[in-house]
Amino acid sequence: MLKTKVAVLVSGGGTNLQALLDAEKAGVIKSGEIVAVIASNESAYALERAKNAGVPAVAVPKKSCASQAEYEEKISAVLAQYGVELIVLAGFLSILSADFVAKWPKRIINIHPSLIPSFCGEGYYGLRVHEAALQKGVKVTGATVHFVNEVPDGGEIILQKSVPVYKNDTPELLQRRVMERAEWKLLPRATEIISAKILKEGNKYGL
């Protein structure tokens, strides 16, 4: 069966990557195949998760590149090597340039741990998002999967799921609940939706 070739870009532990790998194994993702994992640093545990699943894993350390352009050229080379058609950002902490994103229209998706447009954009990542939500006193938060464009967290929303905020929550407790109840469910679902769409439309961008 023909499948959309997916690359997952990561920076840390790779819990969302694990959710994707598990979903592919379980048949939740049936239209896409994870063909490569690219990490922004060599020590990312996500690389181990990929290797354990038999998926090619490559570190492209940003600090070893002289410029953003060189960094993105190295990423592009890996994407080309594996014939990637869809990029999934799963806890990828590097901002991609407008030039890079423009080459992948509606072919890059990202998971963000809030209900966009709340607590999103530059500077909002990891625990900072949940700290801001608790400081504001919101009663509901969640996660959003969206297309990536040149504006951080600014692309069209694909899926959202809400998660309750409790009175005694810490940022860590809230982060875990959002991951378990929203992120790990939404990202595989969105990956399947977009992979199926790419198959249906054909690889019209010629990527």
The pLDDT, as a whole number, for residue 207 is 40
The pLDDT, as a whole number, for residue 203 is 54
User: What letter represents residue 10's amino acid?
Assistant: V
Q: What is the rounded average pLDDT for all residues in the chain?
A: 94
Residue 207 lies in a domain: no
Residue 142 lies in a domain: yes
Domain count, the chain: 1
Beta carbons within 8 Å of 178's beta carbon, 6+ residues apart: 113, 130, 141, 142, 143, 163
Compute the average pLDDT of residues 132-149: 97
User: Does the model's pTM come out above 0.85?
Assistant: yes
Residue 83 lies in a domain: yes
The pLDDT, as a whole number, for residue 204 is 52
The pLDDT, as a whole number, for residue 201 is 86
| 160-195 confidence digits (pLDDT tens) | 999 999 999 999 999 999 999 999 999 999 999 999
- Residue 92, domain extent: 4-201
Residue 151 lies in a domain: yes
**Any idea how long the chain is?**
207
Residue 34 lies in a domain: yes
- 137 pLDDT above the threshold of 70: yes
| 42-84 confidence digits (pLDDT tens) | 999 999 999 999 999 999 998 889 999 999 999 999 999 999 9
Q: Which residues are catalytic?
A: 112
DSSP structure string for 103-160:
TSTT-EEEEESS-TTSS-STT--THHHHHHHHHHT-SEEEEEEEE--SSTT-SPEEEE
Residue 206 lies in a domain: no
CATH code for the domain of 38: 3.40.50.170
